[in-house]
Amino acid sequence: MRTVYTDMQRFRFPVGRLPDEALLSGLATGDPELAVTFVRRFQHTVFGVAIAVTGDPQLAEDIAQQTFERAWRHAQIYDSRRGSVTTWLTTIAHNLAIDAIRSRRPEPVAPEDLDALLGVVTDTPEQRALADDASARLRAAVAQLPREQGRALVMASIYGMTAQQIADWENIPLGTAKTRIRTAMAKLRTTLTSPKRGDHGQ
C-alpha cells in the first residue's frame, strides 16, 4: 500500500487518476489527500443510495459517512474479483440504509416514493444508455416488466422488503408476492446473461 503511495509521490502521479482499488488500498496510509480523493470520487454514488432508500437527508448523511468509515476499516478484505469498488461501497451503503429504516419505521416505503423510484430506475436518458451498456440493458429490462412485478422488485431489491411484507403492502397472497419477485429477477437475469446484441461487426 505504501509503496503505491511512495511511487506516486516520486513520480508526481496525480491521485485523482489512481485506480479505485489503489485508492482504497492507499487509505491505510492515513494520507489526507488520498482520503479526500476517495470520498470525493464516491460520495455522490454512496449518498445517492442512502437518500434513495431512506428519503431522509440527515439519516442518509450518517449512513454515507458510516459507509466510508466501514470501507476504510475493512479495505483489506475488499476483493476485486467480487466486484468493483463502487459496487462494494453501494452494497455497504445499501445494507446500512436498509438496516436503518428497518429499525426506525414500521413501513419501509411510502407509496409515492415507491412509484417515483420505479420511475427513476427505468428512466433511460441517452447518455446513460451510452455510458454503461449493462446498466442500460438492465434499466430497459426493468422498464419492460409488468408494473406489479416492477413494484415487487423495487420493494425487495431497493427497500429490502420480504415477500411477506410485499404481500401485506400489496394486499396479495404471499405466494403471489414470491412469484412476482422470482419472475422479475428471472427476466433480468436472462437480460444480463444473454449475449449482447450488436457486439459483432463493430
Partner 1 sequence: MANDVTCETLRENGAELALGVLPGRERAEAVAHLDRCADCREYIEQLTLVGDGLIGLLPGSEPPVGFETRVARALTQASAGREGRRATHGFGRLRRGFRGRRPGRVRLRVAAAAAALALAFGFGGWAVGTAIENWTSSPPGPADSTSRLLSAELTGVGPDRPEAGEIYAHAGAPGWIYMSVDLDDAGIPYTGEISCLLERTDGTTVRVGTFPLHDGYGYWGALVDVDPSTLSGARLTSADGTVLAVAHFETAS
User: Whose Cβ is closer to partner 1: residue 18's or residue 153's?
Assistant: 153
CA distance 152 to 75: 33
Q: How far is the CB of 107 from partner 1 (least distance, A)?
A: 14
Least CB distance from residue 42 to partner 1, whole Å?
10
State the nearest-atom distance from the C-beta of 173 to partner 1, in Å: 15
| Candidate ranges 6-14, 16-24, 188-196; the one touching partner 1 (CB under 8 A) | 188-196
**How many CB atoms neighbour CB 1 within 10 A?**
14
What does the alpha-carbon distance between residue 149 and residue 27 come to, in Å, rounded to a whole number? 41
Residues 39-98 that bind partner 1 (CB under 8 A): 39-40, 43-45, 47-49, 51-52, 57, 60-61, 64-65, 68-70, 72-74, 76-79, 82-83, 86-88, 90-92, 94-96, 98
Residue 122, class by beta-carbon neighbours within 10 Å (0-12 exposed, 13-18 middle, 19+ buried)?
middle
> Is 118 among the residues that bind partner 1 (CB under 8 A)?
no
> What angle separates helix 163-170 from helix 147-157, to the nearest 10 degrees?
130
Identity of the residue, 57 or 201, whose beta carbon is nearer to partner 1 in the bound complex: 57
Under rule CB under 8 A, residue 144 binds partner 1: no
Interface with partner 1 includes 189 (CB under 8 A)? yes
Cβ distance 26 to 35 under 8 Å? no
Q: What 3-state class would DSSP assign to 84?
A: coil
Residue 54, φ and ψ in degrees, nearest 5: -95, -35
Shorter beta-carbon distance to partner 1: residue 65 or 176: 65
